Amino acid sequence: MLNISQLLDEIKASPYREIVVVAPHTGKITFAEIAPGDRVHGPQGQWKELPGDRLATLERERNPKPVCAPENGEISLVHKELNGCFVEAGTPLVVLRHMLTRDEVQRTILQKTLHLFLAPERAKYYFTPEADKKIRSSDAHSVTVRDGMELFIMSRMKREVPLHYTGPDGVIYEVYFKYNENLDAGAPLIGVCPQAHLHVIHDMIIRVQTEWTET
């Protein structure tokens, strides 16, 4: 069994994470009225339906798009010298100092508790259409996996191959990859929790929720 207290203490020792916000694509960048030291909010609302604070606007082909804060945090650096310039995709724009939220701490600890199914190759991963439909219509928790079940599509070199899940039976508790994102070999794809262990996980979550205070 995992020592949650010890894990929590470890995380408490360094509760910050640095987030570099980069330009998602090329275009002309205009920064919002932000300066180092400002506090900004990430997506809010019960379903995270409200976007985070606008950090900058990136305009490409007459289509201005907001670049929003991905998480709560304090701005530690703004590349103001780029204001009004054309930037390439991936150019660093803003650096945020982000204090880990309950959810993130929970996720960190979950990663150590759940059975992780890892990416076997560097590739893009998708759920099979059936699983994808289920996950989109409700959430990942509704999908039960079995050993040997065809669960993913691995896409690389323009070829798509099915990938079978191996590991204990259970429900998908966490999904660690995003659409169209390249994953390195060994990166976790999903965290699976056997049905019988769900209560352990819930206890753990309650502990994190009570012991971790968010500022």
Partner 1 sequence: MSTTQSDDTLRKHKILVANRGEIAIRIMRACKKLGIPYTAVYTAEDAASGHVRLARAEGGEKSLFRVSSYHDANELMCVADDASCTAVHPGYGFFAEDFRFARRVAKRDRKMIFIGPSWKIIRELGDKINTKRLARSLEVPTVPGSDRPIYDEMEAERIAKTIFEFQQQQGIRHPLVLVKASAGGGGMGIEEVYDPDQFRSVYRRVRNYALRQFKDEGVLIEQRIMDFNHLEVQIVSDRTGKNPVHFGTRNCSIQSTGLQKRIEVAPGFTPEVINYSFDAQKVLDDIVAYSLKMARSVGYDNVGTWEWIVTRQGAPYLMEVNTRIQVENGVSARIAKIRGQDGVDLIAEQIRTGLGEHLGYTQDDISFEGVSIEYRLIAEDPENNFTPWVGQIECFEWEKAPWLTMLTHVPERLPYEIPTEFDPNLALAIVYGKDIRQTRERGIAFLDSLCLTGKDNRGNGLKSNEAFLKANTERILHF
Partner 2 sequence: MDNSIEKRLHNLRERLSYITDVFAGKHSDSTVMLEERLTFFAGRAMSGASENAYAELATVEDLFAHVERRLDKTLSPMDKVRIVRHPQRFCLRDILENVYDNFTEVGGQDEHSLDPGMLIARAVITRSRGKKKYMQSIMVIGQEKGHGAEYRNGGSVKPWGNAKALQYMNVAETEGIPIHTYIFTPGSYPVEDYPGAAQQIAKNIYNMAGLSVPIVAVVSEGGSGGAEAIGLADKRLMLSHGYYSVISPEGAAAIEGRLKNGERASPELIEHCAAHLKIQAEDNLRFGYVDKIIQEPPLGARPWHFDFFRSLRQDVIRATDEVVISTRKMPVLRGLALARHRNPETDIDGLYIRWGLSGAAKARLVHRRQQKFLRLSRQAARDRRPFLTKTATTFLDWISKPWVSFKYDFYHKHQRQISTLMEEINNEIDMIKYRLLSPWRKLRCRLPGRQDDKAQELTTLSTWEESGRSRKWNYLSPRYKIDRTLTCPNSESYGCLDLWGPDLFAEFAGVCSHCGYHFPMEPEWYVHNVFDAGSIIEFNSEIEAGNPLDFPDFSDKITAAKEKARAKSGCMTFEARIDNIKMVVAMLMGTFRGGSVGAAEGYKFVEAAARAAKKRYPFLAYVHGTAGIRIQEGTHGVIQMPRCTVAVRRYIEAGGLYMVLYDTNSFAGPVASFLGCSPYQFAVRSSNIGFAGPGVIKETTGMDIPPKYHRSYRALSRGHIQGIWDRRQIRPNIKQALLTIGGRNLYYR
Applying CB under 8 A, the residues found at the interface with partner 2 are: 45-47, 49, 60-63, 65, 136, 179-180
Judged by beta carbon, residue 1 or residue 157, the one nearer partner 1 is: 157
71 φ/ψ angles, rounded to the nearest 5 degrees: -150, 165
Answer with the entry of partner 2, partner 1, none that 157 interacts with (C-beta below 5 to 8 A by kind).
partner 1
CB neighbours of residue 81 within 10 Å? 7
Question: What minimum distance in Å lies between the beta carbon of 47 and partner 2?
Answer: 6
Instruction: Tell me how many degrees the CA angle 38-41-44 measures, rounded to the nearest 5.
Output: 170
Answer with the entry of partner 2, partner 1, none that 33 interacts with (C-beta below 5 to 8 A by kind).
none
Of the candidates 215, 201, 213, the residue with the CA atom closest to the CA atom of residue 2: 201
Sites of contact with partner 1 (CB under 8 A): 24-27, 60-61, 63, 86, 88-90, 121-124, 156-159, 182, 185
For residue 70, count CB atoms less than 10 angstroms from its CB and return exposed for 0-12, middle for 13-18, buried for 19 or more.
middle
Question: What minimum distance in Å lies between the beta carbon of 161 and partner 1?
Answer: 8
